[in-house]
């Protein structure tokens, strides 16, 4: 295997770091215990967290010991955002989210073997802290000038809303996490997104002041598209890992629709494909971009990583079936409902609704005349079967799993009829 740092840099997974050569030496010389924190600010992790989980997996595969920290304490406080104060969640909600995140994280790391992962909750050591302990044992090691200079803090101080003492104190709690994990498990590396750089350095400085030891921090870049815009389903939208918050079909389709300019970069960041495999896909994209070989490989790899091979097979089958390359009746009902959730739709009354009604009501055609011309020219379909009769009604036999009926105008314009 190539040098781990070189590999991570080639994949675009390294942004900022402390002494890189010292870190390289430590990772090459033996097994390093490292950690990454995940705050339960929602019921699911998203694409940004996925980058961290992939980084952790790379490190574990190279023989290092991961600690996944779920912030049951820091999640009650909230890391300062650049824009406005976070809405605090009640303790019961945060506790529920902690358990959900633990399950999601557990799918990416190996908790057995020679270098098993460990899961911890910072509420275990933060909750027993008294106010006096916090101020005497931790607060005395932090300087106001440094705390005020943090990007998020400085920006919020200039805003009309300002920043609460609650969020201002977050950096002390995260720094203490690194100290506690250093003391208890010998953690000497913290990883995180680049927006966490100041917090990571705060933990490193605290360990140096309290323990006289040198440790490392390393961040991943914040992922953006090639045009500089935010990475997500919509501007600023999250690609949730929880199938209840974003269906596996929608998740798969997101990756399948990545632009050519971004796909090779995303293959490096979000998959474990080899250099040779990615370089071959890069060549195929350059020679025949219409085949979208790289996008298909990306969508399959990331969906399998997050949702498993079986679910990936289901969504691929659904994707093919929607456009006539498979049997719609073989598609799982939940998958079919999710796959058609955002399509133009029309209500269906069995034995009454016609193909003409479906095309017009859904908006696939602008009017009755246009719909009739489409049907007459052979461009209308129900469940991928061509319909030549404008009076053709939807029957019970047309109803697919999930109680839907699929109809299509031409090769690509899809609509869904709902029977309830």
Domain residue spans in the chain? 4-220, 248-340, 345-419
In percent, the amount of the chain with pLDDT more than 90 equals 77
Q: Supply the pTM of this predicted model.
A: 0.88
Classified by CATH at the fold level, domain 248-340 comes out as Tyrosyl-Transfer RNA Synthetase (1.10.240)
The gap from C-alpha 185 to its chain's centroid, in whole angstroms, comes to 28
Q: Which secondary-structure segment (H or E) carries 220?
A: strand 216-220
* pLDDT category of residue 232 using cuts at 50, 70 and 90: low
SS3 of residue 404 by DSSP: strand
How confident is the model over 10-24, as a mean pLDDT?
96
In whole angstroms, give the CA distance from residue 227 to residue 400.
40
In whole angstroms, give the CA distance from residue 367 to residue 371.
6
How confident is the model over 319-342, as a mean pLDDT?
84
* pLDDT category of residue 118 using cuts at 50, 70 and 90: very high
SS3 of residue 210 by DSSP: helix
Q: What is the CATH number of domain 4-220?
A: 3.40.50.620
Backbone dihedral angles phi then psi of residue 208, each to the nearest 5 degrees: -65, -40
320, two tokens: 């093919």
Question: What pLDDT is attached to residue 2?
Answer: 61
Question: What pLDDT is attached to residue 1?
Answer: 44
Dihedral sign of CA atoms 244, 246, 248, 250 in order = positive
40, two tokens: 């339960």
How confident is the model over 60-82, as a mean pLDDT?
93
Same topology between domain 248-340 and domain 345-419? no
Strands 65-70 and 345-347: unpaired
In whole angstroms, give the CA distance from residue 324 to residue 317.
11
Classified by CATH at the fold level, domain 345-419 comes out as 3.10.290
Question: What pLDDT is attached to residue 233?
Answer: 56
Question: What pLDDT is attached to residue 398?
Answer: 95
Question: What pLDDT is attached to residue 276?
Answer: 97
Task: Answer yes or no: are the C-beta atoms of 81 and 164 closer than 8 Å.
Answer: no
The gap from C-alpha 37 to its chain's centroid, in whole angstroms, comes to 15
How confident is the model over 87-110, as a mean pLDDT?
95
Please tell me whether 100 is known to bind a ligand. no
Question: What pLDDT is attached to residue 407?
Answer: 94
- The model's pLDDT over 340-383, given as tens digits with 9 standing for 90+, comes to 888 899 999 999 999 999 999 999 999 999 999 999 999 999 99
In whole angstroms, give the CA distance from residue 261 to residue 271.
17
In whole angstroms, give the CA distance from residue 333 to residue 182.
49
Please tell me whether 35 is known to bind a ligand. yes
How confident is the model over 81-97, as a mean pLDDT?
89
* pLDDT category of residue 133 using cuts at 50, 70 and 90: very high
How confident is the model over 188-196, as a mean pLDDT?
95
Lowest mean pLDDT among 105-114, 116-125, 157-166, 322-331: 322-331
- Residue 256 above 50 pLDDT? yes
Please tell me whether 249 is known to bind a ligand. no
Task: Answer yes or no: are the C-beta atoms of 79 and 39 closer than 8 Å.
Answer: yes
SS3 of residue 68 by DSSP: strand
Task: Answer yes or no: are the C-beta atoms of 259 and 285 closer than 8 Å.
Answer: no
Nearest to 27 by CA among 64, 68, 53, 2: 64
Question: What pLDDT is attached to residue 75?
Answer: 94
Please tell me whether 15 is known to bind a ligand. no
SS3 of residue 345 by DSSP: strand
């Amino acid at each position: 295997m190539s040098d781990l740092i070189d590999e991570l840099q080639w994949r675009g997974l390294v942004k900022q770091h402390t002494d890189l050569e010292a870190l390289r030496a430590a990772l090459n010389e033996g097994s390093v215990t490292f950690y990454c924190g995940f705050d339960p600010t929602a019921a699911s992790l998203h694409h940004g967290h996925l980058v961290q989980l992939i980084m952790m997996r790379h490190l574990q595969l190279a023989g290092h010991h991961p600690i996944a920290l779920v912030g049951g304490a820091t999640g009650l406080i909230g890391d300062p955002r650049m824009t406005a104060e976070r809405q605090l969640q009640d303790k019961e909600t945060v506790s529920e989210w902690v358990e959900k995140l633990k399950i999601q994280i557990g799918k990416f790391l190996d908790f057995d073997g020679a270098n098993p992962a460990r899961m911890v909750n910072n509420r275990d050591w933060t909750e027993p802290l008294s106010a006096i302990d916090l101020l005497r044992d931790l607060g005395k090691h932090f300087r106001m000038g440094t705390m005020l200079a943090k990007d998020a803090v400085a920006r919020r101080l200039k805003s009309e809303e300002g920043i609460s003492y609650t969020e201002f104190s977050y950096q002390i709690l995260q720094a203490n996490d690194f100290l506690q994990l250093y003391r208890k498990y010998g953690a000497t590396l913290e990883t995180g997104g680049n927006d966490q750089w100041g917090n990571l350095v705060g933990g490193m400085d605290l360990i140096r002041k309290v323990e006289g030891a040198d440790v490392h921090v390393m961040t991943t870049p914040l992922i953006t598209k090639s045009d500089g815009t935010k990475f997500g389903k919509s501007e600023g939208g999250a690609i949730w890992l929880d199938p209840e918050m974003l269906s596996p079909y929608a998740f798969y389709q997101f990756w399948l629709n990545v632009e050519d300019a971004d796909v090779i970069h995303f293959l490096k960041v979000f998959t474990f494909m080899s250099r040779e495999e990615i370089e071959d896909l890069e060549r195929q994209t350059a020679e025949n971009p219409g085949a979208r070989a790289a996008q298909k490989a990306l969508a399959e790899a990331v969906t399998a990583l997050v949702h498993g091979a079986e679910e990936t097979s289901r969504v691929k089958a659904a994707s093919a079936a929607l456009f006539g390359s498979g049997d719609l009746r073989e598609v799982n009902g939940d998958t079919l409902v999710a796959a058609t959730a955002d399509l133009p739709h029309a209500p269906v009354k069995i034995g009454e609704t016609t193909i003409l009604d479906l095309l017009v009501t859904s908006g696939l055609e602008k009017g009755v005349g246009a719909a009739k011309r489409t049907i007459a020219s052979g461009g209308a379909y129900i469940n991928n079967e061509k319909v030549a009769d404008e009076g053709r009604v939807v029957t019970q036999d047309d109803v697919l799993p999930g109680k839907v009926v699929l109809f299509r105008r031409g090769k690509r314009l899809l609509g869904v009829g709902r029977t309830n």
